[in-house]
Amino acid sequence: SQQGEEDPQALSIQEGENATMNCSYKTSINNLQWYRQNSGRGLVHLILIRSNEREKHSGRLRVTLDTSKKSSSLLITASRAADTASYFCATDAGETSGSRLTFGEGTQLTVNP
Amino acid sequence: DTGVSQDPRHKITKRGQNVTFRCDPISEHNRLYWYRQTLGQGPEFLTYFQNEAQLEKSRLLSDRFSAERPKGSFSTLEIQRTEQGDSAMYLCASSPSSGEDEQYFGPGTRLTVT
């Protein structure tokens, strides 16, 4: 069963705007990861944030993690048409679960040129 | 290209036939994972290997499914007596060692059961 829930399910913005996607989860985690998937393709890892971290940056990406609320957000700044894709959060509960990833249902982001 | 590769990329089969997929992880990666993804959903965990040992299987992996990683390198996923509900994208991922690492995904095998 899916642990994560992404919000919104779909997001449409104009090029240059910022896009924010949220993820909530239910159990304790070791880390939380964000992945991107273009239509019909495999997943590309974007960023990993550990349970003892609160914020992380990578290029135009900013991820926050609030373990007390069991939630995370992904911010993409200055979006581009090429950012159009599905974005998934995935939680890693650690070695007790073999570090398998539990994915949410994803947010479909459309960036209009 | 030293990424994760999967073969075939697409497979169309008739209900009741057996199919086998192959995954070649990034060399040196000890962990190998199989996930299944249906349209509009996130990937769901099926099974994983630490070297050649299969350490966990999801309840999604019915007795028609079997996975192997005989020499701790490539892995195969076989589905026997396919059903239309098996139609999905089958994704393979690998990671360097136990825990706290990102997983590197292959391009997936799209299975269509007619």
- Please name which of B1, B2, B4 lies closest in space to residue B104, comparing C-alpha atoms: B4
**Which chain B residues contact residue A33 at CB under 8 A?**
102-103
Kindly state the tokens that stand for B34. 């199989």
With an 8 Å Cβ cutoff, are A41 and B107 in contact? Answer: yes
Kindly state the tokens that stand for A101. 């990833």
Average pLDDT over residues B51-66: 89
Question: How far A79 CA lies from chain B's nearest CA (Å)?
Answer: 23
pLDDT digits (tens, 9 = 90+) for A83-104: 999 999 999 887 776 778 999 9
**Which chain B residues contact residue A94 at CB under 8 A?**
99
Q: Look at the alpha carbons of B10, B15, B20, B22 in this order and tell me if their dihedral is positive or negative.
A: positive
Q: DSSP assignment of B33-96, as one string?
A: EEEEE-TTS--EEEEEEETTEEEEE-TTS-TTEEEE-TTSS-EEEEE-S--GGG-EEEEEEEES
Residue B1 predicted with pLDDT over 60: no
Give the pLDDT score at B111. 98
pLDDT band (50, 70, 90) for residue B97: confident
Question: How far A107 CA lies from chain B's nearest CA (Å)?
Answer: 10
Residue of B nearest to A49 (CA): B100
With an 8 Å Cβ cutoff, are A90 and B95 in contact? Answer: no
pLDDT digits (tens, 9 = 90+) for A40-78: 888 999 999 999 999 999 999 999 999 999 999 999 999
